[in-house]
Structure 1
Amino acid sequence: MSTEPVLSPIAQNFFSPFTHGFVRVAVAVPDVKVADPVFNAERTLALARRAADDHAQVCLFPELGISSYTCDDLFHQDALLDAVRTALDSLRDASSDISCVLVVGAPLRFENRVYNCAVVLHRGAILGVVPKSYLPNYREFYEKRYFASARDAGMGEVSLLGATVPFGTDLVFTADDIPGFALHAEICEDVWTPVPPSTFAALNGATVLCNLSASNITIGKAEWRKTLCAGHSGRCVAAYLYSAAGAGESTTDLAWDGHALIYENGDLLAESERFADGERLIVSDIDLERLTNERTRLSSFTDSAHDFGDRKVRRISIHLDLPEATDIPLRRRVERFPFVPTNAAVRDERCYEAYNIQVAGLTKRLQSSRIQKIVIGVSGGLDSTHALIVAAKTMDKLGLPRENILAYTMPGFATTEKTKTNAHDLMNALGVTAKEIDIRPSCLQMLKDLDHPFHGGEPVYDITFENVQAGERTSHLFRLANFNNGLVLGTGDLSELALGWCTYGVGDHMSHYNVNASVPKTLIQYLIRWVIGTNQFGDAASGTLLSIVETEISPELVPHGETETNKTEPAQSTEAKIGPYPLQDFHLYYTTRFGFRPSKVAFLCWTAWHDAHDGGFPDGYPEAKRVSYDLPTVKRWLREFLWRFFQTSQFKRSCVPNSPKVGSGGSLSPRGDWRAPSDGESAPWIAELVASVPDGDG
């Protein structure tokens, strides 16, 4: 009998994006000739083959691409309409060996009316025809002169090229081998209306919305297109594919930029170069599981679907035959730091918002409580540093002196000179009331009362030894708050709360109000860098803040051994114990924000981190930390995360102080984003990880 572990189907195809709920889509902008369907169909076929060779399951083309958009009154010429059908017939036959769904534009006449249509083809068959609903008839547009609207069509089927095919705006094309795949097509002006037809399709399950567009270019129009597509994809919680006409369309009165776009739930995944020479083809992978999971959570989406339940759709099922190759890389950027944007301008805006959300939260709490003093412990580490600078800005906003911040550094048995000095330097630079309390005497008294071996001189540094120090610090802070009529400001961050890296009831876990509980460690590092970069508190404070950001993350609870020579840095490394924060913040984001299974989280993390030379690091990120993580490392630390998050630490999150929510993926408050039993099991998550993630990089 074999003793080899049985790998799940996911593990056997782990490195393929199609294993993890992705579908590959393409948007094409071919060259066209005005009123030359034969040429246009040939260029459509050539780009369709390129898309299929790139493993795309969908390829979208522009509006009226088989004829060209700018035919004007030629749309009422029999010769052109006949040539379109002939070219469409040739395209249908020639595409029989192409695996992807083609969505092409063509003028088609049915029952004495010409319709501006999207024709959906797959493997030599026409699956359906979608007529345009909204015909613009203003300024440069005269479509009602040539076409009938979908609203004027009374038939649900048409005869086309010898076959009876579905006809209407209510067609949704689903794939029996791709869960969550449901495609809908609309045409240009449809998305510029208050309620696009694709809205009803999305409410009925469509996840991939296609827009065949011509859309001539004028100054500023491209940004408005992007705004429309981003907003509509976000509102519909869907992918939105957009293809605008390009080279070859008539420039008698208009010009064309060939703008191709792919959005997913408001996020831009791919965009073509505009005004480029030659044809364009953009490709990206859509995360169908992200879309379906998001819709599952959004109760208002379900309510809206119920309100418009009378707008039914017709579903047409197809089989797409996903590629079996496992060496197909994911075609989309996965940010290494989901909480920290790589783009500098976006990151600065994110930091500005996060910082001011924290300040606004603390401001309101002080105003409502009538308390004018803040008590805070300052260790010289990241979390207490950031809480302190939030407190300083809050005092400035309230018009209160910074001396009302009673800041205490409380050295213990393992406090290093570096962190202690940084704490004093920062408190002095900010102008707060700075004091030092040595907690070692009170800790020794408690250790003596406990009959702990350390009190007798033995170097026993167990959990009790560590927690006595955390408890003493918290006890002092709360009594100091009583004595000074102040508010104890919490410092614990989101990453520590997720991993349970805090002592229950004391330390970073408990306070009167916490400004950091919704901010992960990776973002705190950049918030401090943003404070430095914007010089919020002057050069002296900025210099100390930089030193703090560059210090090894440590709880500083265990002292150095007698034989250790470098005692300027902490003896403990937090990340050596619980995992690198960049990885654990990544795992946190995709586990809680989207509810992905562990194997998908591992796949995304490996994609983002397996090649340090692939870029994607925010500027200013230390070169020494720009490292790669292989799949075994990702799997190891993801297992640690799952065990800590689901098995051992929820009881700490069930009892946390008030704190403002900062990001969409960043709150574990039981009163907000995360309600979970304190006695749940981690077994399903760890079992899926073990069975579905290989032990090597493939």
Structure 2
Amino acid sequence: MTDRLNIALAQVNPTVGALGANQSRIRSARADAAARGADLVVYPELVICGYPPEDLVLKPFFLERVRKAVEELAADTADGGPAMVIGAPWQDQGRTYNAALLLDGGQIAAVRYKHDLPNYGPFDEKRVFSAGPLPGPVNFRGVRLGLLVCEDMWTPDVAETLAETGAEILVVPNGSPFETDKSDMRMNLSVARVTETGLPLIYVNQVGGQDELVFDGASFVLNADRSLAAQLPGFDEHLGMTHWTREADGWRCASTEFAKPAERLEAIYRAMVLGLRDYVGKNRFPGVIIGMSGGVDSALSAAVAVDALGADAVHLVMMPSPYTSQHSLDDAAEAAELLGARIDTISIQPAMQAFDSMLAPAFAGKDPDITEENLQSRSRGVTLMALSNKFGGMVLSTGNKSEMSVGYATLYGDMCGGFNVLKDIYKTTVYELCRWRNAHLPAGVMGPSGRVVPDRIITKAPSAELKPDQTDQDSLPPYDALDDILECLVERDMGLMEIVARGHEAEVVNKVWRLLDRAEYKRRQAPPGVKITRRSFGKDRRYPITSGFISILAG
């Protein structure tokens, strides 16, 4: 019976479906862990195929290739080096499970299946996986490990069963995506499981971007007395070594590394950078193209893009109309200069004139209205997509969550693009992030230190500049009020009178509610973007386009 264990926490960044590349990442981490004396390496949930694999796991030939990749990794452990706990989709008697597998001694030494399948927000595992039975511990070189796969830790049943059947250390492979304040929730739940079972706990989380999800890593270890023994950094790949000793009352991890968790704005910003970097890189785009307006949204998007990809991979384009102010031209140019990024100017006035001429017979007798404003936005969208087609860069759209909520965006215009880092960022948070980034240089970014968003962009009144003297507040409530109402409606599902009780006028709440409802069809056609809040637009909020409920509630 061993009394000492060295366990490595492999916080890696897999790519969904890239079995060979993920296998190489797993092997590289194992080699590093072996050089540092590890007995066991623990990887995140479904690391061999990346998480979430969604409907890939419904393809039998995909599962066959997964099994072959796992068997090859198992064979690696015949070299006498560290064993591995890896995650993989696994077929057993005609059913597919989300599995944690112990690889040791050249073979698959044990398999345990995820019992509690999440079916909320971005998760729909019940569509593709069968729930496993309540598991017992696995024997690893005389130590009984209790394997809980991600959601299994969020409720007490699995941990309780493992403790009752003799587990000595709880090991939790995770694919837990980032949300603001979620790290506190994870820690609180982990403390609850430790308190209930009296067992230490190892929590290993995936890192990296996958479509709209960002996994922030931040893996950790808790001892049985609930003390924190290790805290890995967030938003970075990292191999953490932990050293364990069997004591009279059970296993204890010696204190090792303690990375300081990111505060709210830093965490949001780093999630945006990581999400964009991996979306562009994993989809093999050479860079991004951003339409610059001289406003705060495009300026922040450009800063995130340069931080994620480097200035050479970011092409900024200013597309003035007759309504574009000189200060917008100057501010866009200053933002590009601060970031060190290329900016070109392409006037859309010829396109506006062409549309006016082309549509004049059809519009005869009609006064100009929002139609002509939207044609400006669509002219810009066509221009950006043409540049994307010609040069290969992905168009990064720049609309924020406040605008997307109330439909303050133009289909096939400023909504054009392949990705949007501001999609889940309210306007008030956009301003906070600009100020924060001007004062801080986040770890691991490729952009410059110091100010990256011009001061005037932050302080001036926001405007679409589609007609003379236009500002956003001509048609919207002030953004601090709007964002509070939207958060109540979208994130909290609050009713009209509850929101009014917070100090908002009923008429304003009613208007915002209607705008939110009516814009659903636009959001269905919007590009993906980084999930930041508890309920982002997309899989988190599946709301009907056609619905009479709003008129019943709001009158």
Alpha-carbon contact 2:320-2:346 (below 8 Å) kept: yes
Displacement, 1:530?
0.3
Asked if 1:446 is matched to 2:355, the reply is yes
Q: What is the identity, as a one-letter code, of the residue corresponding to 1:492?
A: G
Change (3 A) 1:575 1:383: same
Cα distance in 2 between the residues matched to 1:462 and 1:517: 27
**Which of 369, 386, 405 is 2:283 aligned to?**
369
Q: Which whole-Å deviations, capped at 9, do the CAs of 1:186-205 have from their partners, x for residues lacking one?
A: xxxxxxxxxxxxx99xxxxx
**Which of 577, 587, 590 is 2:488 aligned to?**
590
Displacement, 1:452?
7.5
- 2:296 aligns with 382
Cα distance in 2 between the residues matched to 1:416 and 1:452: 30
- 1:89 aligns with none
Change (3 A) 1:347 1:360: closer
Cα distance in 2 between the residues matched to 1:525 and 1:487: 25
Change (3 A) 1:235 1:577: farther
Alpha-carbon contact 2:423-2:529 (below 8 Å) kept: yes
Structure 1 runs of 4+ aligned residues shifted over 6 Å read: 232-236, 452-456
Once the two structures are superposed, the pairs formed by residues 254-403 of structure 1 within 5 Å of their partners are 349-396=263-310, 402-403=311-312
Alpha-carbon contact 1:374-1:489 (below 8 Å) kept: yes
- 1:574 aligns with 472
Change (3 A) 1:347 1:387: farther
Change (3 A) 1:386 1:556: same
Displacement, 1:347?
13
Cα distance in 1 between the residues matched to 2:387 and 2:350: 17
Q: Which whole-Å deviations, capped at 9, do the CAs of 1:273-300 have from their partners, x for residues lacking one?
A: xxxxxxxxxxxxxxxxxxxxxxxxxxxx
**SS at structure 1 position matched to 2:454:** helix
Displacement, 1:684?
2.5
Change (3 A) 1:452 1:365: farther
Alpha-carbon contact 1:447-1:468 (below 8 Å) kept: no
**Which of 540, 547, 554 is 1:680 aligned to?**
547
Cα distance in 1 between the residues matched to 2:299 and 2:388: 19
- 1:337 aligns with none
Displacement, 1:653?
1.3
Alpha-carbon contact 1:447-1:455 (below 8 Å) kept: no
Asked if 1:652 is matched to 2:550, the reply is no
Displacement, 1:539?
7.7
**SS at structure 2 position matched to 1:490:** coil
Unpaired runs of 5+ in structure 1? 1-198, 201-226, 237-345, 397-401, 560-570, 607-630, 688-698
Change (3 A) 1:473 1:232: closer
Cα distance in 2 between the residues matched to 1:482 and 1:547: 33
Asked if 1:473 is matched to 2:344, the reply is no
Cα distance in 2 between the residues matched to 1:474 and 1:498: 20
**SS at structure 1 position matched to 2:475:** helix
Cα distance in 2 between the residues matched to 1:443 and 1:495: 28
Change (3 A) 1:514 1:454: same
Displacement, 1:650?
0.8
- 1:568 aligns with none
- 2:322 aligns with 413
Cα distance in 1 between the residues matched to 2:192 and 2:510: 35
Aligned Cα root-mean-square deviation (Å) = 3.2
Change (3 A) 1:382 1:678: same
Change (3 A) 1:452 1:379: farther
Cα distance in 1 between the residues matched to 2:462 and 2:507: 20
Change (3 A) 1:356 1:449: same
Q: What is the identity, as a one-letter code, of the residue corresponding to 1:639?
A: N
Cα distance in 1 between the residues matched to 2:438 and 2:379: 32
Alpha-carbon contact 2:421-2:529 (below 8 Å) kept: yes
Displacement, 1:636?
2.5
Cα distance in 2 between the residues matched to 1:234 and 1:497: 38
Q: What is the identity, as a one-letter code, of the residue corresponding to 1:677?
A: P
Displacement, 1:404?
2.4
Displacement, 1:685?
2.7
Displacement, 1:390?
0.6
Change (3 A) 1:452 1:574: farther
Change (3 A) 1:417 1:455: farther
**SS at structure 2 position matched to 1:231:** helix
Cα distance in 2 between the residues matched to 1:404 and 1:586: 36
Once the two structures are superposed, the pairs formed by residues 595-614 of structure 1 within 5 Å of their partners are 595-604=493-502, 606=503
Displacement, 1:490?
1.1
Cα distance in 2 between the residues matched to 1:555 and 1:445: 21
Change (3 A) 1:475 1:235: farther
Q: Which whole-Å deviations, capped at 9, do the CAs of 1:75-94 have from their partners, x for residues lacking one?
A: xxxxxxxxxxxxxxxxxxxx
Asked if 1:231 is matched to 2:191, the reply is no
**Which of 531, 555, 558 is 2:464 aligned to?**
555
* Count of matched residue pairs: 304
Once the two structures are superposed, the pairs formed by residues 502-517 of structure 1 within 5 Å of their partners are 502-507=409-414, 509-517=415-423
Cα distance in 1 between the residues matched to 2:485 and 2:273: 28
Asked if 1:425 is matched to 2:350, the reply is no
Once the two structures are superposed, the pairs formed by residues 600-639 of structure 1 within 5 Å of their partners are 600-604=498-502, 606=503, 631=504, 634-639=505-510
**Which of 370, 373, 379 is 1:463 aligned to?**
370
Alpha-carbon contact 1:426-1:541 (below 8 Å) kept: no
- 1:642 aligns with 513
Cα distance in 2 between the residues matched to 1:453 and 1:521: 37
Change (3 A) 1:478 1:598: same
**SS at structure 2 position matched to 1:662:** coil
Q: What is the identity, as a one-letter code, of the residue corresponding to 1:591?
A: L
- 2:390 aligns with 483
Q: What is the identity, as a one-letter code, of the residue corresponding to 1:519?
A: I
Cα distance in 2 between the residues matched to 1:504 and 1:483: 22
Asked if 1:527 is matched to 2:439, the reply is no
Alpha-carbon contact 2:440-2:450 (below 8 Å) kept: no
Displacement, 1:574?
0.8
**SS at structure 2 position matched to 1:578:** coil
Q: What is the identity, as a one-letter code, of the residue corresponding to 1:547?
A: R
Higher Cα Rg, which structure: 1
Unpaired runs of 5+ in structure 2? 1-155, 158-183, 194-259
Change (3 A) 1:234 1:471: farther
Cα distance in 1 between the residues matched to 2:374 and 2:282: 33
